[in-house]
Structure formats: structure tokens, C-alpha cells
Amino acid sequence: MKIALAQQNYHIGNFDSNVKKMIDAITQARNEGADLVVFSELCICGYPPRDFLEFSDFINQCYKAIDTIRGHADDIGVLVGAPARNADSQGKDLFNAVFLLYEKEIKGEVHKTLLPTYDVFDEGRYFEPAYSWNVLEFKGKKLAVTICEDIWNMGSNPLYRTTPMEELIKFAPDVMINLSASPYNYAQDIVRNSIVKAHTLKYNLPMLYCNTVGSQTEIVFDGGSLVYNNAGNKVGELKYFEEDFKVFDLNELVNKQAVGLQDVKVYYAASDVGADKNVLEYLADEKSIEEIHAALILGIKDYFSKMGFTKAIIGSSGGIDSSVTIALAVEALGKDNVRAVLMPSQYSTSHSVSDAEQLSKNLENPYDIIAIKNIYETFLTELNPIFKDLPFSVAEENIQSRTRGNLLMAIANKFGYILLNTSNKSELATGYGTLYGDMAGGLGVLGDVYKTQVYALAKFINRDREIIPEHILTKAPSAELRPDQKDSDSLPEYDELDTILFKYIEERQGPKELIAQGFDEKLVNRILRMVNLNEYKRNQFCPIIRVSYKAFGVGRRIPIVAKYLS
């Protein structure tokens, strides 16, 4: 039996586009002699559909799409993911399901057992877990079909009480097939390979794993679909961050001599991958930075294309964050579609302006210069009766930032641009930003990237030629909102800050654990207090492209009105 994996980029709720992609892949699979073509989890509607699942019309369109595809599944089998209605009045109204289509009929239906309800996932909100298990019989073979999380219940501390493959193995299947929508983070490919390998060794069966690719607002899916034989050897891996298609012969995946599972290092979670590594080295790992670069490019590109926008606007300060954001946007959207706006004040240094100009000259993208001194002083004049003779403070600093935000949004509104935000994760974590000022934007490009990683990204962008001027990489970072200001005036040095932030945010280590590792007690308490006090700012922030396994946004839910560590 020949099985095709169709790794595709879907658009949530765009049924016509999704169905066309799948029909094209079915045709390709048939032409290449495949007996069965496998798509990804909830491919019919796109993942994650979230509260669209609460609309009957949305579910009706899913079933209509299945009927359309069924008409093309005549002499070839098709496995598609879609929501399925629960005929039992008890429990949730829907299952997360896979349909086997063949001979223009629905030949079988499989339901997802393990419904992740953590981080960016909220499937328990919508779906009923499977309560019965069966293999799908197709052309004389028994297919053990699972859906994404169903294969992740491994290790010494499993999250669920039921493991679907333990039920399916009782039917003596010939092959394992997993339809997945597994989001990217910079450790996920290692964990994903580990999980699939461990399954093939444990059950002595080959596995074909089809993942989706593409970006859905903040979540990036990296593809990287996998095929392992029954001996735990990888025999196929589809491309990362782009669509791909490949046919595999099941006969070539079986009857291999397996090694023992006890001899294999298995990573069961992303947090395991960097657990024994130096944080700064781990964050700036060359392979991870290359992946993050690709993920951010895809995140920008899909956000614009799926929203129907073509042009971006970015505030260009001559600093590292805006420079990296502009370079990424130019690569994703094209140089003519990225407009940079330089907005110097009386506190801006001359080299900040020249650095920003040089960046746009290197990238050949359009840019404008709008000095904000007069606007800023007008604000101060009008506020003087209220401010009186009170000393210069963060209020005056924020007026400058909000003036820039106003200018950017005015241009964006006038010409139909999307404002890309340039705040990095270190700044967002500590509240080092101004609401409605430099925190304005439609999409946060670097909001899940620590300052350490921003510098590493800049070096990667400059790998072939100098795009980001060297002076931007070497000068001390500054918001330039008052004379001789430096980030270090308000924040700890970034190497120490990022290390503590990573351990607290990603690894969820508390103050006692951090202090026990040798970090200064006052510094730890100060940083953690900043993180928790500024939840209200992050709650009002735009969507952030997710590249870590614990990003700000939908995957990190912290109360605003709380006292813990604040």
C-alpha cells in the first residue's frame, strides 16, 4: 500500500480554499499511484477554529466540504480531519474527528481521545473525548488512526489516564497514522521526533505523521511531517515552514529490526530539551535562531495574506528591535510593501537617525522622517496648566511615545497599512513600554523573542551581507525619551534579565528556586515583581507570533488583579 502525506497551509473558515487544496492533493496522490492520502487535524475548517465551532452554520459547512471531497475519493482513500457531531445527547455536541473517505462514501470515523486544554489549546471547551476505539480497515490493512495529542501521553508523568494506542494495539493494526496540528516552538521538532520514534519502538509498528503548516494569527505551524519505520528509524521528513507532499510505500516500513526503547533518549516535552543547558546559549542557538527567523517570516506573511492586507508600516528608531522587525517584514512582504517612519525628538541622537536611514537604504524600502519636537512641545504647552511646575517624569516620556503611535496609526489608517509592533519579550515581560505608544500595533513580531535572541536574529539577518548597520548591533540600547537614557537605567543587564525571565516564564521556576541557583535575591524579587505588575499592559497588547513554548497571549493566562509576587 502506498500512502501520501499532504502537508498543507489552511485558512480557518475558508472552506472553498481548503477544499480546493485537498482536491488538488488527491489528484496528485492518484497520479503518483497512492492508495491513500492523509491530511492534517481539522484540515476541513483549519486549526484552531475556536468559537466558530459554536455556530451550527460553521459545522454545516464542514459537512458540506466533506461531501465535496467525498466525491473525489473514488478509487483512492482519503483521511481528513473535521469536527463531527455527537449523536449522544450527553456530553459535548462535537468530536474532533477523522473521516475515512473511499468509493465516494464515508467508510469510517475516528474521534480524538486526548483533548489538550493548556497553553494555546482549549479543546475541552468544544469537544467530547472518544469513549470507544477502533481501527479503520482499508484495502486489507488495519489503520490505527490517532489525532495529534493522542500520541503525546508518554513519559513518567502522563497528563491523561487513557492512552489511545494502548486500546488500538488490541486490534493488531498494521500501521499507525496520526493527523496533527502541532504548533511550532524552538524545541518542538526534537520532541516531535522523539514521540514518534518512541511509538514505533514501543508498538513495533511504522508511523506516518501528517502535520499542518502555516500561521493562524499568533500560532505558527511548522510542518515537518514524519515517517518512521517499525524499527524506530526516520525514513521521511517533509519540509519545514512550507507546504510539501510525498508518497511512501508501507511495505518498505515494516519488518525492520528494532532496538530497545530503553536505549533511546526520548524528550516528552519542550521544557526537557533545554533543561540542562545554559539559558543564554540555548536561546541564541544557531539552529533555533534560523528556525525562529523562518517562523517569524511565515507569521508575518500569512497574517497579511489571510487578512487581505499587503503593506506594513513600522516606526524606525535606529534601534535593534525596529531594525530586525523591518528586515523581517521586507523579507516577508517585499521591500516596496514596508514603509518605515523615523520620528526623532530632541532627545534622539544623530546616529539613531542616520542608522535608521542606512537600514532602509540597505533594504531599499521607502521611509519618511517626521520630527516630533513641535508636536511634543505643543502637548506640554496645553498640559502646562495641569502639570504646572512638576518635575519631568515618565509622563513626559510617554507623551513622546504616544505621539509616535498616533502618527503611525494615522498613516496606517490613511493608506490601509498594518502597523507592526517592535516590542521584544524582555520589554513586554517587565512592562518596559508605553500603552498606546510603542505598544501599539496590529501584530507583535518580536513579542515572543527575548532581547538576547533579537541580537542573534540580527546577526543571522546579516549572515551574507550587512543589512542591519553594525553600529545598531554594538551601541547600547535606549528608548531615547530623555537625555543620555539607556535601557540599563530601568532594567537589569539583558544577559541576567533574560536568564531569570526564561526560568520564570518558560520553566515556571519560583523565587526560592531562582535564589537557590545563586541569583541575587533583590534582583529576583524585582524582576518577578515587574513581570506580574505589568500583566495589565500585556492584556491590552496585540497578537504575538508564538515561537517559544510559553508565549504571552492566549497561551499564558495570568490574573491582572492579583497579589502574587507583586
- Kindly report, residue by residue over 313-327, the tens digit of the pLDDT: 999 999 999 999 999
Between CA 422 and CA 441 the distance in angstroms is 9
Residue 548 lies inside a defined structural domain of this protein: no
For residue 249, list its beta bridge partners: 2
When comparing pLDDT for 478 and 28, which is higher? 28
Domain that holds residue 307: 286-487+534-539
* Statement to judge: residues 291 and 264 lie in one domain: no
- Chain mean pLDDT for the chain: 95
* Statement to judge: residues 322 and 212 lie in one domain: no
- DSSP letter string, 113-175: -----STT--GGGTBPPP----PEEETTEEEEEEEGGGG---SSS-S-S--HHHHHGGG--SE
- Kindly report, residue by residue over 179-237, the tens digit of the pLDDT: 999 999 999 999 999 999 999 999 999 999 999 999 999 999 999 999 999 999 999 99
**Catalytic, out of 112, 301, 311, 503:** 112
* Statement to judge: residues 300 and 235 lie in one domain: no
* Statement to judge: residues 292 and 257 lie in one domain: no
Q: What is the mean pLDDT of residues 325-339?
A: 98
For residue 216, list its beta bridge partners: 219
**Catalytic, out of 148, 149, 425, 480:** 148
Between CA 282 and CA 274 the distance in angstroms is 7
* Statement to judge: residues 174 and 297 lie in one domain: no
Which CATH number characterizes residue 355's domain?
A: 3.40.50.620
Residue 558 lies inside a defined structural domain of this protein: no
321 belongs to an annotated ligand binding site: yes
Angle, helices 494-505/521-533, rounded to nearest 10 degrees: 60
- How much is the pLDDT for 529? 97
End position of a domain, from candidates 238, 272, 306: 272
Between CA 21 and CA 8 the distance in angstroms is 8
- Kindly report, residue by residue over 430-487, the tens digit of the pLDDT: 999 999 999 999 999 999 999 999 999 999 999 999 999 999 999 888 877 778 777 7
* Statement to judge: residues 80 and 109 lie in one domain: yes
* Statement to judge: residues 319 and 262 lie in one domain: no
Q: Is residue 20 among the annotated active site residues?
A: no
Residue 329 lies inside a defined structural domain of this protein: yes
* Statement to judge: residues 290 and 263 lie in one domain: no
* Statement to judge: residues 414 and 444 lie in one domain: yes
422 belongs to an annotated ligand binding site: yes
Residue 500 lies inside a defined structural domain of this protein: no
Residue 549 lies inside a defined structural domain of this protein: no
Which CATH number characterizes residue 73's domain?
A: 3.60.110.10
- How much is the pLDDT for 225? 98
Q: Is residue 148 among the annotated active site residues?
A: yes
The sheet with strand 418-421 has its strands ordered as 367-369, 338-342, 312-315, 418-421, 443-444
- 2-7 and 244-249 beta bridge pairing: antiparallel
**Catalytic, out of 41, 291, 397, 535:** 41
Give the chain's length. Answer: 566
- Kindly report, residue by residue over 239-283, the tens digit of the pLDDT: 999 999 999 999 999 987 766 655 667 888 888 898 878 999 999
* Statement to judge: residues 356 and 326 lie in one domain: yes
316 belongs to an annotated ligand binding site: yes
Q: What is the mean pLDDT of residues 508-516?
A: 97
118 belongs to an annotated ligand binding site: yes
Find the radius of gyration of the CA atoms of the chain: 26
Residue 503 lies inside a defined structural domain of this protein: no
317 belongs to an annotated ligand binding site: yes
Q: What is the mean pLDDT of residues 497-523?
A: 97
89 belongs to an annotated ligand binding site: no
537 belongs to an annotated ligand binding site: yes
- How much is the pLDDT for 349? 82
* Statement to judge: residues 124 and 242 lie in one domain: yes
Q: How many structural domains is the chain composed of?
A: 2
* Statement to judge: residues 296 and 215 lie in one domain: no
- How much is the pLDDT for 261? 58
Q: What is the mean pLDDT of residues 288-305?
A: 98
